Amino acid sequence: MPAQEEFLTNWGNQALSQSETGIRLAIAQSASNLKEKGYSESEALDILGANDTINFKLIQSAVESAYGKEVVASVEEKKVDESYVVPTSYKEVAAAVENQLKQLGPKQFMNKLARSKSPIMPINEKSYNSYLRLASLAVNDERSMNQLHGDLKKWFEESMYVSVCAAKSSKNQIRVASTTNGKFVATNERGASCDVCLESGTCSCSKFTQGHFGDFGLACEHIVAAADKVSPHQRLLKAITEVNNTTASIEEEVENKIELLNSKTIMRS
Ligand SMILES: [Zn+2]
């Protein structure tokens, strides 16, 4: 290999390894920032990993060295157990639905869904009976369970949609105020009020209590309105932005170094 080409190849490798060092540094910095802010090792991995799938292995080892312990990606496991204060898809409540069916048995399960005072599923006798047959099969049969999930999906997603629309509706004029115990009071245009607790995802309104929303993992418009006020997404986004800013400044530093290297190369040649 001619000398000049060899030199260029070496320089290229050096530059590559330098920028990888930069990325490593940035990730390690982000991981220890998150630790300082009180995030657990698996939360740190989730936050950094969600932001950057390409460097996932690097992120994992950076988090492990920042926390001094092994950490396993928990994304898949979490989906089953995680409870969502404001669910936005049937997937997020499917586990709660299945638990209810197994705990109550098919008859009580269907009564809770379709025969309460503010039912999630306002259905007639004929549909009720066919849902009941399917729910009875679903208890011991996975295929029927999947079919049941498929049939319930539209009712639950409609309920989620209605709550979100009602929370935003100017007609309802829902106003939310926080109370001293970390909970919320939601008031509507008629002055009626209800108590919302975001930690447990509960509300004292009749729609929530009589419709058994809590047991099925659903949220009423008051929970949606309160959650909007202190969105966890907002907090998460803020954390990610801070991490990105740190990464950007370190990357800039590395780029400057490479530029300097470049200019030296030009001077020498
Ligand atoms: Zn409510």
> What is the mean pLDDT of each successive set of 10 residues along the chain, which is 269 residues long?
54 56 83 88 83 75 87 52 75 95 97 95 97 97 97 96 92 89 88 90 95 95 89 54 59 62 55
Task: Give this prediction's pTM.
Answer: 0.57
- The reply to whether 78 and 96 lie within a common domain is no
Residue 220 CA to ligand 1 centre (angstroms): 5
Residue 193 CA to ligand 1 centre (angstroms): 9
Domain count for the chain: 2
Torsion of CA 214, 166, 225, 172, to 10 degrees: -120
Residue 17 CA to ligand 1 centre (angstroms): 56
Residues 6+ away with beta carbon under 8 Å from 199: 182
- The reply to whether 71 and 142 lie within a common domain is no
- The reply to whether 111 and 212 lie within a common domain is yes
Q: What span, in angstroms and rounded, lies between the C-alpha atoms of 101 and 195? A: 28
- The reply to whether 78 and 107 lie within a common domain is no
Q: Which pLDDT score is estimated for 23?
A: 80
Torsion of CA 241, 246, 247, 250, to 10 degrees: 160
Query: Residue 193 belongs to what H/E stretch?
Result: strand 193-197
- The reply to whether 221 and 193 lie within a common domain is yes
- The reply to whether 95 and 145 lie within a common domain is yes
Q: Which pLDDT score is estimated for 251?
A: 60
What are the distances in angstroms from CA 97 to CA 94, 212, 219? 5, 11, 14
What are the distances in angstroms from CA 134 to CA 76, 98, 122? 28, 13, 17
Farthest-apart Cα atoms in the chain, separation: 88
Residue 208 CA to ligand 1 centre (angstroms): 5
CA 65, 70, 75, 81 dihedral sign is: negative
Q: What span, in angstroms and rounded, lies between the C-alpha atoms of 49 and 47? A: 6
- The reply to whether 149 and 43 lie within a common domain is no
Tell me the residue range of the domain where 66 lies: 3-82+238-268
Q: Which pLDDT score is estimated for 267?
A: 55
Residue 106 CA to ligand 1 centre (angstroms): 27
Residue 134 CA to ligand 1 centre (angstroms): 30
- The reply to whether 17 and 135 lie within a common domain is no
